[in-house]
Amino acid sequence: MKAQATLEELAALFGGKVEGDGSLPIRGIASLEEAGEGEITFLAESKNRRRLEKTRASAAIVPANLPSFPKPVIRTPNPYLAYAKVQAFFQQKPLAPRGVDSRAFIGGGVKIGRDVSIYPFVYVGEGCEIGDRAVLHPGVYLGESVQVGEGSLLYPNVVVMDRCVVGKRVILHPGTVIGSDGFAFARDGAKFVKIPQVGIVVIEDDVEIGANCTVDRASMGKTWIKRGIKTDNLVQIGHNVIVGEDTVIVAQVGIAGSTEIGNRVALGGQVGVVGHIKIGDGAMIGAQAGVGQDVAPGQILSGSPAFPHREWLRAQAAFQKLPEMKRTLAELEKRIKALEERITEEKE
């Protein structure tokens, strides 16, 4: 059974301002097209106002500046954020911890907090510490001495190798691997000798990592995923990489070893970043770009290799005209030759 709330109660979740009957009971939130009687909907931007007019919802969350509307509304500068909070409210489930299933394996010396859910076929290695309310879904593997903070959610088949540290309220999506060996070999003639990877991975609080990602443990020291980072699926983060707070990493990005990424950086889909460089705070890297050297804070880059986005746009536009430029060049060469010959003739 899902939660129910009055319009006034919902507005309080995000500090919105109610217009109309604040005691109206609401039982869910849905899109403009799909919301029905008894539900609230939301309009992200005033320019799409027409779509709002047709909604069957009983109320709407709307931008602060929207003209008046016949149904009850909650005004807010950020309707999308309001949607996130209201949807989370309706989706919340009463805490129903399953405890430790008898078909899970729990190693010696493991400390387990209160109200956890440890499903069948979970493997928890010796000396692990699992915080209150943590959820370990089926097939999760924790190596020796792994720490998982309170409220963290490890989806099915997540692997966290020995000694790695996962903070509080972290979400690791299915199949993600934390703490596999970094890719490091010393040459011995034609052969390669493995460099033991004795470091760990530290994932700070409120991080969310997508499905089937890989985050390698450090050669020495730590690979460091700081507070609030969000990554999409199939992302690769190499050994000893540091990623700053609130950075966003889109799907299939690869970051090579020992690179340091600042706070609030955005890396677009399929971006590649070489090792041993720094990307400054607030930088934005366009999809499929290849970053080969340091990036100053706030820079916006595209291309492979990457350079400033605006210049890249112009260069790309010119690129598509290259065959034409080549023809023009050949033609100009002919005209110059003709001029040179005429002038020489005249002189003679």
How far apart (Å, rounded) are the C-alpha atoms in residues 233 and 102?
31
Residue 276 near a copy of itself by CB under 8 A: no
Q: Which is nearer to a copy of itself, 64 or 315 (CB)?
A: 315
- Around 311, how many Cα atoms within 13 Å sit in the side-chain half-sphere? 9
Stretch that binds a copy of itself, among 19-27, 57-65, 115-123, 144-152 (CB under 8 A): 115-123
Burial of 243 (0-12, 13-18, 19+ CB in 10 A): buried
Residue 98 near a copy of itself by CB under 8 A: no
How far apart (Å, rounded) are the C-alpha atoms in residues 36 and 13?
21
Structure tokens at 183: 């890719």
If binding means CB under 8 A, how many residues of this protein chain bind a copy of itself? Answer: 106
Residue whose tokens read 């706030």: 298
Helix (H, G, I), strand (E, B) or coil at 105: strand
Letters for 7-26 (x = contact with a copy of itself by CB under 8 A, - = none) are --------------------
Residue 46 near a copy of itself by CB under 8 A: no
Residue 119 near a copy of itself by CB under 8 A: yes
Burial of 48 (0-12, 13-18, 19+ CB in 10 A): exposed
Among 23, 48, 98, 336, binds a copy of itself (CB under 8 A): 336
Q: Which residues of 170-208 are buried (b: 16+ CB within 10 A; e: fewer)?
A: bbbbbbbbbbebbbbeeeeeeeeeeeebebbbbbbbbbb
Stretch that binds a copy of itself, among 16-24, 69-77, 108-116, 117-125 (CB under 8 A): 117-125
Tell which residue, 27, 14, 15, has the closest CA to residue 59. Answer: 27
How far apart (Å, rounded) are the C-alpha atoms in residues 137 and 247?
26
Stretch that binds a copy of itself, among 18-26, 56-64, 128-136, 249-257 (CB under 8 A): 249-257
CA 126 vs CA 16, 83, 119, 134: distances in Å:
49, 42, 17, 17
Catalytic site residue from 137, 173, 239, 309: 239
Least gap, CB of 84 to a copy of itself (angstroms): 4
Among 203, 232, 243, 244, binds a copy of itself (CB under 8 A): 232
Q: Which of residues 291-330 bind a copy of itself (CB under 8 A)?
A: 292, 304-305, 307, 311, 314-323, 325-326, 328-329
How far apart (Å, rounded) are the C-alpha atoms in residues 313 and 316?
5
Residue 210 near a copy of itself by CB under 8 A: yes
Among 105, 111, 293, 298, binds a copy of itself (CB under 8 A): 105
Least gap, CB of 196 to a copy of itself (angstroms): 4
Least gap, CB of 262 to a copy of itself (angstroms): 12
Q: Which is nearer to a copy of itself, 21 or 245 (CB)?
A: 245
How far apart (Å, rounded) are the C-alpha atoms in residues 208 and 173?
8
| 239 flagged as catalytic | yes
Backbone region of residue 160 per phi and psi (left: phi > 0; alpha: psi in -120 to 50; beta: other values): beta
Among 115, 132, 233, 300, binds a copy of itself (CB under 8 A): 233
Residue 279 near a copy of itself by CB under 8 A: no
Residue 224 near a copy of itself by CB under 8 A: no
Q: Which of residues 134-163 bind a copy of itself (CB under 8 A)?
A: 137-139, 141, 155-157, 159, 161
Across 275-321, the runs of DSSP E, i.e. the strands, are 278-279, 284-285, 290-291, 300-302, 307-308
Residue 131 near a copy of itself by CB under 8 A: no
What are the backbone dihedrals phi and psi of residue 342, each rounded to the nearest 5 degrees, phi first?
A: -65, -45
Q: Which is nearer to a copy of itself, 147 or 176 (CB)?
A: 176
Q: Which of residues 165-204 bind a copy of itself (CB under 8 A)?
A: 171, 173-175, 177, 180-181, 183, 185-188, 190-196, 198
Residues recognised as catalytic: 239
